[in-house]
Chains A and B, each alone.
Chain A
Amino acid sequence: DTEVTQTPKHLVMGMTNKKSLKCEQHMGHRAMYWYKQKAKKPPELMFVYSYEKLSINESVPSRFSPECPNSSLLNLHLHALQPEDSALYLCASSQGGSARDNEKLFFGSGTQLSVL
């Protein structure tokens, strides 16, 4: 199984809503990531979890709250988002360990988020 599964595939939410994005992998990877991709732009790193601990937060606003319940699951909790937060949110995982292993990311298909 070389898949990273993200749910939901599409999400529309109002600025006062609370929602969560979910990500799951069963490849035994110990590093998991959230990337954000705006239309016609490259993916940008948001968070990195390594061995279930948050290791990198790229100065992401607190309205985005990541959670890693176990080594297979990664969530992104959303609250009081703004319309400019509308984007494709990509989850990825990698083996962990040496830096070179970490570069080979396996991406999910993403959640297309629209904030109204």
Chain B
Amino acid sequence: SQTIHQWPATLVQPVGSPLSLECTVEGTSNPNLYWYRQAAGRGLQLLFYSVGIGQISSEVPQNLSASRPQDRQFILSSKKLLLSDSGFYLCAFHPRTHEQFFGPGTRLTVL
């Protein structure tokens, strides 16, 4: 069966520190992968998507970057976190069908 994993579930980081969030997918090959962010009380914002290894498309300019080193691995990174990077980060995958599956999310608080 298809599953998606994200970790960590929660994270508290100081301003200026680096960030690495990891997402892995099982049970599918060559999926499209996505990173979304949801700030407190706000809607879901698409940050990055990838249609294959090493192929990253950015939706909005920001302090974050994404990488896809393996077919089913998607990483969200930052060199220096800002207060405005706080939020709920969701990874999702699209296995070439109509349905998009979301992970459990990482709640990031930048202090």
B is a partner of A: no
Residues of A within 8 A of B (CB): none
Residues of B within 8 A of A (CB): none
